[in-house]
């Protein structure tokens, strides 16, 4: 009897799966070494309805229910993570090899802003990628993404099962999009290692859907693509380890500890505009953002020494732009030398080097990584770091990153004026160099 009660308790302790909406992942095809793969898309757990055994919210807007979630344990005991209505609630649809993420979706119960999804190889397992000496290619249409939005495609070192095996509390696992982490060590995750992040939770004053808890979750990140129709960058972020963080190791700006944490939050980025070429990427430019474009990224060497970009549009291969900024050797790819020189030229802290540089990042890539696709607006810096001048009053080298006004990108305005914005990703391919385009 006692044993039975104990196991019942253990069962009840983990976060459970809700039964109001069955989880039905959108299907998507992609290519691995030339062979067609059938995968699935799963939305991150943070976007999902979290409720008690009935329909009372465990988390509402940007606060936790004090009855259901007075502490992490009770929260896991009391709460259920719900299945997703991908198109109706979240504005996500897939067809063939194409995925569309809509920005603002008015559902029957709520208005959803943006999304973050992962590629699954089967219902319960993220597709893992080993990037070194390989090439990743996809096609993207950012024509319907104005200033202030970011249609992103990137890799992070999440566990393939969403943390389920290591952390029994994370029972819903990858099937429900658990386990996210990135190089910003986000504090806004409702669950980290399956544990509710309710301690010290503070609702974000300018975001009615988000807040921050005591813990952050840090891991290596490779931003293949952060972009809207006006600007784009690819960025490598090194982290000294992949782990849940607390205090100094989170590198919080609010505590002026940005460069004291586990991860290089700035990263080393290649943005054609920022590095001197304002006519390369944009509507009607060399790479025409008013039309779909195929983006090839090559991870050269093991150890990794270089990350190269090649573009394909209208059947033509377009070589990447070369940097054209004083103090930076003219190059068209990311290497340690480029990162070192660009940090000196801009006067930025070289946290990439401090967190291991390319060799540290290369070691981190021995861990396989998960593919993330997202659409978001920026409640911290209005996306000015991507598409405008940042800091907005700076005239320093590297401060200008794109043509957007420094007054653009306020989420309030973006969400009302550009509710219909969307990004389309398609034709994901992974394989040997020069085999995917």
Q: Which residues form the interface with ligand NAG (CB under 6 A)?
A: 276-277, 279-280, 286, 321, 324, 391, 393, 419-420
Cα 317 from Cα 23, distance rounded (Å):
40
Catalytic entry in 82, 226, 249, 415: 226
Q: Closest separation between CB of residue 421 and ligand NAG, Å? A: 9
Nearer to ligand NAG, 186 or 398 (CB): 398
Q: Tell me, yes or no, if 226 is annotated catalytic.
A: yes
State the nearest-atom distance from the C-beta of 275 to ligand NAG, in Å.
9
What the block records as the tokens of 398 is 């590297």
CB of 152 to ligand NAG, least distance (A): 22
> How far is Cα 378 from Cα 414, in angstroms, rounded to an integer?
10
**Residue 225 phi, psi dihedral angles, 5° rounding:** -155, 115
- Dist. CA 216–CA 249, nearest whole Å: 9
Q: Which of 12, 324 has the CB closer to ligand NAG?
A: 324
Q: Which is nearer to ligand NAG, 100 or 160 (CB)?
A: 100
Helix/strand/coil percentages in the chain, nearest 5: 15, 35, 50
Nearest one of 162, 43, 28 to 114, comparing CA atoms: 43
Contact 402, 230 (CB under 8 A): yes
Give yes or no for a contact between 193 and 232, defined as CB atoms under 8 angstroms apart: no
In a 3-state reduction of DSSP, which class is residue 141? strand
Sequence-separated (6 or more) residues with CB below 8 Å from residue 359: 303, 336
Catalytic pick from 135, 221, 249, 415?
221
Would you say 194 and 179 are in contact if contact means Cβ atoms under 8 Å apart? no
CB nearer to ligand NAG: give 95 or 279. 279
Is residue 221 among the annotated active site residues? yes
Smallest separation, CB 338 to ligand NAG (Å): 16
Q: For residues 19 and 111, which CB has a smaller minimum distance to ligand NAG in the complex?
A: 111
Report the 10 Å Cβ neighbour count for 96: 10
CB of 363 to ligand NAG, least distance (A): 33
Active-site annotation, residues = 221, 226
């Amino acid at each position: 009897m006692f044993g039975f009660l104990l196991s019942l308790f253990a069962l009840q302790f983990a976060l459970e799966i809700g039964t109001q909406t069955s989880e039905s992942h959108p299907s998507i095809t992609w290519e691995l070494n030339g062979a067609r793969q059938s995968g699935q898309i799963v939305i991150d757990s943070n976007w999902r309805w979290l409720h008690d055994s009935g329909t009372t919210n465990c988390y509402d807007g940007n606060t936790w229910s004090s009855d259901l979630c007075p502490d992490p344990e009770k929260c896991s005991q009391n709460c259920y993570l719900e299945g997703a209505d991908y198109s109706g609630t979240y504005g996500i649809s897939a067809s063939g090899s194409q995925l569309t993420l809509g920005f603002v979706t008015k559902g029957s119960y709520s208005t959803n802003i943006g999304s973050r999804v992962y590629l699954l190889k089967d219902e319960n397992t993220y597709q893992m990628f080993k990037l070194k000496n390989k090439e990743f290619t996809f096609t993207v249409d950012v024509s319907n993404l104005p200033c202030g939005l970011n249609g992103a495609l990137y890799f992070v070192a999440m566990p393939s099962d969403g943390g389920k095996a290591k952390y029994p509390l994370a029972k819903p696992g990858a099937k429900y999009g658990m386990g996210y982490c990135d190089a910003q060590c986000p504090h806004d995750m409702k669950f980290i290692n399956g544990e509710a992040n309710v301690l010290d939770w503070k609702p974000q004053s300018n975001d009615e859907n988000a807040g921050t808890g005591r813990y952050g979750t840090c891991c290596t990140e490779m931003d293949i693509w952060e972009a809207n129709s006006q600007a784009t960058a690819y960025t490598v972020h090194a982290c000294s380890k992949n782990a849940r963080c607390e205090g100094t190791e989170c590198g919080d700006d609010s505590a002026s500890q940005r460069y004291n944490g586990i991860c290089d939050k700035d990263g080393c980025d290649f943005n054609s505009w920022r590095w001197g070429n304002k006519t390369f990427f944009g509507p009607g430019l060399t790479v025409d953002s008013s039309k779909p474009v195929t983006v090839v990224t090559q991870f050269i060497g093991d150890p990794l020494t270089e990350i190269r970009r090649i573009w394909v549009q209208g059947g033509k291969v377009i070589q990447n732009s070369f940097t054209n900024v004083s103090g930076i050797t003219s190059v068209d790819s990311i290497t340690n030398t480029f990162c070192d020189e660009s940090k000196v030229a801009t006067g930025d802290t070289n946290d990439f080097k401090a967190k291991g540089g390319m060799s540290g990042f290369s070691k981190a890539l021995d861990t396989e990584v998960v593919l993330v696709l997202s659409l978001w607006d920026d409640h911290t810096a209005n996306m000015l770091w991507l598409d405008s001048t940042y800091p907005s009053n700076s005239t320093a080298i590297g401060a200008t990153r794109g043509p957007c006004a420094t007054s653009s990108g306020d989420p309030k305005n973006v969400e009302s004026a550009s509710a219909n914005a969307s990004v389309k990703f398609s034709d994901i391919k992974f394989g040997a160099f020069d085999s995917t385009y």
